[in-house]
A = this chain, B = another copy of it.
Amino acid sequence: MIQTDLSQVNTQIPANWKKVNTMEKKETAKERILRVASELFYREGIRAVGIDRIIEESGVAKASFYRNFATKDDLIVAYLENKSRESLGRVDEAEQRYPDSPKMVLSTLLDNLIDRLNAPENRGCAFMNTVVEFPDANHPGHQTAVEHRHELWRRVEEIARRGGAQHPEELASQLRMLCSGAIMVSYTDKAAFHAEYLRNAIRLLIEKHAVR
């Protein structure tokens, strides 16, 4: 019997497998909810996706949802914190790869961005989108999104400073406007987005500020 076989297999797994083996750990309800919600929120918008939809698509009971997330707002914040970790993780990675060349770090981050903008699932920036969907500055999602963007561009400014930019604050601000706009254009009108034009403009700015 399949049932019997499975239980035999299970008994062979050490009692502390949860800590030992993280790869084959079964996805918890919380993880599943967050994964499904992330995809729906990003693809269709946060306001457009109701709790019931998330519950149904993640195959979870309503009580399970509310045991893991007190309110929808809590889920929204978890979604954004997750995205933020991913985003800042990419910066970490690029800095570790080129610890001695801020210019290469910026170049890597740009390549990275362009790849994501050209991907078919691109729906723009989760953080800008959230601020637009929740213009109230007191909304926890709004705040989380603003904080992330602040931190991200603070780090880019730091990289520009290490790269010897003459006016790192100005350069970071200009890169921020250009990249934010590129994200919006690639989302709102994919046909109007040309990665080469973005690359040229960024190169022009970086040369102007003499980053090495």
Contacts and interface: CB of A to CB of B under 8 A. Distances in A.
Interface in A174-188: 174, 176-185, 187-188
A55 interface: no
Interface stretch (A21-29, A73-81, A87-95, A201-209): A201-209
A188 B47 contact: no
- How many copies the complex holds: the figure is 2
Interface in A55-80: none
B177 A198 contact: yes
B146 A189 contact: yes
Contacts of A107: none
A131 B173 contact: no
A189 B201 CA distance: 23
A30 interface: no
Contacts of A100: none
A45 interface: yes
Contacts of A135: 43-45, 48, 123
A45 B150 contact: no
A194 interface: yes
A124 B149 CA distance: 16
A200 interface: yes
A115 interface: no
Given A194-B173, A205-B204, A184 B128 contact: yes
Nearest to A188: B131
A205 B44 CA distance: 35
